[in-house]
Amino acid sequence: QKEVEQNSGPLSVPEGAIASLNCTYSDRGSQSFFWYRQYSGKSPELIMSIYSNGDKEDGRFTAQLNKASQYVSLLIRDSQPSDSATYLCAVTLIKAAGNKLTFGGGTRVLVKP
């Protein structure tokens, strides 16, 4: 079983619509959850973090966490062509040192004008 699973996509959404991305993880001890965005040919960059069950909103992005179901999601509202990228889900168990992220394979999102 993969540690962090995502649908590889591509997820095609029309401009202005909501893009919904899902991620499941296998380690119940995971404490912190992150969404990274990676444009083609570029490096990943952090866009959202969430630590507690529920929703967290930041601009057009909303992260949702359900630890009981081991499920994290990302909603992108009013999707723009500039949101076309691969979105990587990452999880971690916070330690005193040597913290690391385990990444999923990413979901490719295509926003069509």
Residues within the interface to another protein (CB under 8 A): 2, 4, 8, 32, 34, 42-46, 49, 51, 88, 90, 92, 94, 96-106
- Closer CB to another protein, 20 or 32, in the complex: 32
Q: How far is the CB of 56 from another protein (least distance, A)?
A: 13
Q: Between residues 37 and 79, which has the closer beta carbon with respect to another protein?
A: 37
As measured in angstroms, the least distance from the Cβ of 16 to another protein is 30
Residue with tokens 């893009």: 19
Tell me the C-alpha distance between 49 and 91, whole Å: 10
Shortest approach of another protein to residue 13 CB, angstroms? 22
Q: Among residues 22 and 49, whose Cβ is nearest to another protein?
A: 49
- The alpha carbon of 77 is separated from its chain's Cα centroid by a whole number of angstroms, namely 14
Cis peptide before 81 (omega within 30 of 0): no
Give dist(CA 31, CA 44) in Å, integer. Answer: 21
Nearer to another protein, 29 or 113 (CB): 29
Rounded Cα–Cα distance for residues 11 and 74 (Å) = 13
